[in-house]
Amino acid sequence: MTTALPTALFIPGEPLDLTSSLTSGQCFRWRVDDAGRWTGALGGDVVRLSPASGGAIAVESAPSPPDETAKALAGYFRIGDDLAAVQRRICWDERVSEGVAAYPGMRVLRQEPWETLAAFILSSTSNMPRISRTVELLAETFGERVTLNGAARRTFPSPERLAEAGESRLRELGCGFRAPYLAEAAAAVASGALPLDALRGAPYADALAALTSLRGVGDKIADCVMLFALDKTEAFPIDRWALKVLREWYGLPVNAKYAEAREWAWSRFGADAGYANQCLFWLVRQSTRPLRSIATIEPPQAERRAWP
DNA sequence: TAATAACCTCGCAA
DNA sequence: ATTGCGAGGTTAT
């Protein structure tokens, strides 16, 4: 027997572009079909998002009812942030302005802390396709199966589950040298030694210290987790792309340390540094497929600002 | 303190 | 075909 498929309408009331928000390297499990419908696994649910007219989004989900999921989506996409206001505050920067113009509806996400930590531990010296593949394989192997109108997905496995799996099993699944890091992080979260969820309410410095106490988690990965899951919009993750941007567009000295670059970002963008970072990162990542061509992008001399 | 391998694995050049 | 190299880092020496 078939039942009518319940659908709810999610009306963000804010700029929201699913494509840039869901493909800009913050998350790894959303898939889009030819019709532009996005399918993901959110918490314990399979979720399907279908862009409708007027910026509305049709939501299907299971097992949670779609109207409940629609509310959760407001949190996931940080609809509480006034994106236009954020953009006005950081658009005086020419490069950030380019990013805003190119991706006007790109949101910074508020994802689940554990899944985000696990995914970014796996991101070390890797690339987006491989991260996605490994995350998906972990879900496929250890996650709970959930179905939506015949389509099946799996939830991201709990820390308990991955801790139980252990390093060797995680290696078998392609985690490589990150396997012990992931296993240890899972154990720390499962045991309560690392109160991940509580870090949402903690100051940046405290969250940073807690996260980097884990093996395999340094400044960059900690910043990703803080920005994409722990409500630290001031976090400014500096990967090799961001580093290249800082050096080539902003004149960051080659010998500058991570902490110095972070301080600079704060002096420039303050609490909006994370949004500025996302604009810059995705701009450079999209505009220069091969790493080598980035050197050809030089700002006009007049746009350069002296390094403080 | 600062530089430099080493670490898993995979996909894609050469 | 086979090999070498780098990919959204971090740790150990």
What whole-number distance in Å separates Cα of residue A170 and Cα of residue A180? 8
Residue A70 within a domain: yes
Contact A262, A150 (CB under 8 A): no
Is A152 among the domain residues? no
For residue A126, say whether its CB is under 7 Å from any atom of strand C: yes
CATH code for position A98 = 3.30.310.260
In chain A, what is the greatest distance between 2 CA atoms, to the nearest angstrom?
Answer: 68
In contact, A90 and A96? CB cutoff 8 Å: yes
Determine the distance between A294 (CA) and B13 (C1') in angstroms: 19
Beta strands in A97-180 (DSSP E): 145-148, 151-154
Report yes or no on A231 lying in a domain. Answer: no
Taking only the tens place, the pLDDT of each residue in A178-212 is 999 999 999 999 999 999 999 999 999 999 999 99
Nucleotides of C under 7 A from a protein CB: 6-12
**What is the C-alpha separation between A112 and A156, in angstroms, rounded?**
10
A88 beta carbon < 7 A from strand C?
no
Question: What is the reported pTM?
Answer: 0.93
In a domain, A153, yes or no: no
| Residue A299 lies inside a defined structural domain of this protein | no
Instruction: Tell me what pLDDT residue A53 has.
Output: 94
Q: Looking at residues A158-169, what average pLDDT do you find?
A: 98
pLDDT of residue A287: 82
Reply yes or no on whether the pLDDT at A307 is more than 70.
no
- Residue A23 CA to C10 C1' — how many Å? 25
Does at least one atom of strand C sit less than 7 Å from the CB of A26? yes
Which nucleotide is the nearest neighbour of A25, by CA and C1'? C8
Over 50: is that where the pLDDT of A301 sits? no
Residues of A acting as catalytic residues: 220
How far apart CA A11 and CA A77 sit, in angstroms, is: 12
A177: CB within 7 A of chain B nucleic strand: yes
Q: Please report, rounded to whole angstroms, the spatial distance between the CA atom of protein residue A186 and the C1' atom of nucleotide C13.
A: 28
pLDDT tens digit sequence for A14-28: 999 999 999 999 999
User: How does the average pLDDT of chain A come out, rounded?
Assistant: 92
Residue with tokens 């999610």: A10
> How many Cβ atoms are within 10 Å of A306's Cβ, its own excluded?
6
Q: Are strands A38-42 and A31-32 parallel, antiparallel or unpaired?
A: antiparallel
Q: Is residue A45 part of a domain?
A: yes
| Nearest one of A111, A9, A6 to A65, comparing CA atoms | A6
Instruction: List the one residue out of A57, A54, A80 whose CA is nearest residue A70.
Output: A57
Q: How far: A127 CA to C5 C1' (Å)?
A: 14
Tell me, what's the pLDDT at A20? 96
pLDDT at site A150: 83
Is any atom of nucleic acid chain B found less than 7 Å from the CB of residue A257? Answer: yes
For A50, phi then psi, to 5°, come to -120, 110
Please give the single-letter amino acid code of residue A89: R
Nucleotides of B under 7 A from a protein CB: 2-3, 7-11
Average pLDDT over residues A30-53: 95
What is the spatial distance between Cα A209 and Cα A206, in angstroms, rounded to a whole number? 5
A68-118 confidence digits (pLDDT tens)? 999 999 999 999 999 999 999 999 999 999 999 999 999 999 999 999 999
Assign A260 a pLDDT band (cuts: 50, 70, 90). very high
Q: Does some domain include residue A22?
A: yes
How confident is the model at residue A298, as a pLDDT?
34
The lowest-confidence range among A1-15, A219-233, A273-287 is: A1-15
Using DSSP's 3-state secondary structure scheme, residue A96 falls into helix
* Minimum-distance nucleotide, CA of A224 to C1': C8
Buried b (16+ CB within 10 A) or exposed e, A126-146: eeeeebbebbbebbebbbeeb
Measured in angstroms, what separates residue A87's CA from nucleotide C7's C1'?
A: 31
Q: How many domains would you assign to chain A?
A: 1
**Residues 6+ positions from A96 with CB-CB distance below 8 Å:** A90, A269, A276, A279, A280
Tell me whether residue A234 is in a domain: no
Asked if residue A43 keeps its beta carbon closer than 7 A to nucleic acid strand B, the reply is no
The whole-number Å distance from A291's CA to C5's C1' is: 13
Residue A15's domain spans which residues? 8-108
Q: Which string of b and e fits A217-241 if b means at least 16 CB within 10 Å?
A: bebbbbbbbbbbbbbbbbbbbbbeb
- Residue A255 CB lies within 7 Å of the nucleic strand B: yes
Beta strand A38-42 with A145-148: parallel, antiparallel or unpaired? unpaired
Q: Copy the structure tokens of residue A110.
A: 């508020």
Instruction: Name beta bridge partners: A148.
Output: A151
